[in-house]
Amino acid sequence: MEKKVSVIVPVYRTLEWLARCVQSITGQTYKNLEIILVDDGSPDDCPALCDDWAQRDDRIRVLHKENGGLVSAWMAGVSMSTGDYLCFVDSDDWIDACMVEKMLDFSSDCGKEIICGNYVQEERNRSIEIYQAMEPGIYTGRSLQDRIHGKLLGQEKRPITLSRCMKLFSRTLIVENMKYCDPSIRMGEDMVITLPALLDAQRIVVMEGAAWYHYLFLRESMVHSYDAGMYENIRSLDKIVRQILADKHAPNAQKQADRELQLLMFLEIKNEARNGREGWKGRLQKECRETELQEAVKRMPLTPTVTENKLMYQVLAHPENTAMMQLVHFLLWANSKRQR
């Protein structure tokens, strides 16, 4: 029996790119698709465009809901879906016509598997192909446990990205782990569904090449904006991650969690130091001195290889060092100016 794939697309304020996204899905060489467009209360013409697409293609179903954020949107799409496999595409991204068919070529009757592709980061003046760090292959049993499950978190370069996109999931891996999802998480939100799915998977395929997902990288809107709630987001995310690792009896659970917390704090150091809002040094010092964080630093010290990370780790490990904070602030600020 032919496998059915549900492609779930959260839609919010992406009118400029939505048609390209939907066309890339309806144009797939694999036809047994259920395409779910979730209008998350978008205030522009996206809702009407979604309805128009549903009139053109009977595989498209549209859900209109009040705005609740990205997580709530794709969760609503999952609840509405009926496919054997789930695939997620963000509405400002697009996929090559062959993606679903070629990923399904690597599927099996396992029932709990994830097929991992790669992606192209589409910037203003260039396209960059980005590949999973884990070498291509099929991972099951001991190789899955040792090479993937024990190393998902706490690495400067993850063996497998924790994005829900550019992957094909057996339905049960998503549905059974929705309990970990929290719509209030805005940064790292994919981690709380992809992490438990990867840990429950009995078969993971890392494809060679397969850069068929196109991720639109809007540097101006993402990298340089200040997030006053990032630290609380990290604390909430850390709590959920530790619960997932415990529930799934993940190998090296504490090591993974402790190292991941420190890497997440690098994002907060960037957030505060790069933007330099009034009182940033005091806030950052207070956050870095938190007992749980300092205990993680002592239990599982990092040895960063990236120069920027080495400097931020010194801030994390020695928050009283004001001179180091000033240096990191200057370097991050100067780097952000060069990237604009």
The answer to whether residue 28 scores a pLDDT higher than 60 is yes
Is the predicted pLDDT of residue 194 greater than 80, yes or no? yes
Select from 168, 144, 114 the least CA-distant residue to 250.
144
- State yes or no: pLDDT of 56 exceeds 70: yes
- As a whole number, mean pLDDT of residues 296-301 equals 95
Average pLDDT over residues 43-51: 98
pLDDT at 326: 85
Backbone phi, then psi, for 219, in 5-degree steps? -60, -40
What is the C-alpha separation between 232 and 242, in angstroms, rounded?
16
Partners of 18 in beta bridges: none
Give the residue-averaged pLDDT of 287-315.
93
Q: What pLDDT shows up at residue 339?
A: 59
Is the whole-model pTM more than 0.85?
yes
Question: 138 has which bridge partners?
Answer: 205
- Record the tokens describing residue 278, joined without a space: 């009034």
Buried b (16+ CB within 10 A) or exposed e, 316-337: bbebeeeebbeebbebbeeeee
Closest alpha carbon to 311 in 258, 274, 260, 257: 274
Section 192-220 average pLDDT: 94
Tell me how far apart the alpha carbons of residues 231 and 268 are, in angstroms, rounded to a whole number. 6
CATH 3.20.20.70 for domain 5-217, yes or no, is: no
Using the predicted structure, report yes or no on whether residue 55 has a pLDDT greater than 60: yes
Which band of pLDDT confidence, cut at 50, 70 and 90, is reported for residue 332? confident
CATH 3.90.550.10 segments of the chain: 5-217
Cα 214 from chain centroid (whole Å):
14
Structure confidence at residue 291 as a pLDDT band (50, 70, 90):
very high
Predicted confidence band at 336 (pLDDT cuts at 50, 70, 90)?
low
Looking at residue 173, what is its pLDDT? 98
338: its two tokens: 């060069």
Average pLDDT over the chain, rounded to whole?
94
For residue 303, give the amino acid letter. T
Residue with tokens 């549903």: 54
What's the pLDDT score for residue 340?
Answer: 55
Is residue 220 predicted with pLDDT exceeding 80? no
Distance of CA 76 to the CA centre of its chain: 18
Q: How much is the average pLDDT of 154-161?
A: 94
| pLDDT-derived band at 222, boundaries 50, 70, 90 | very low
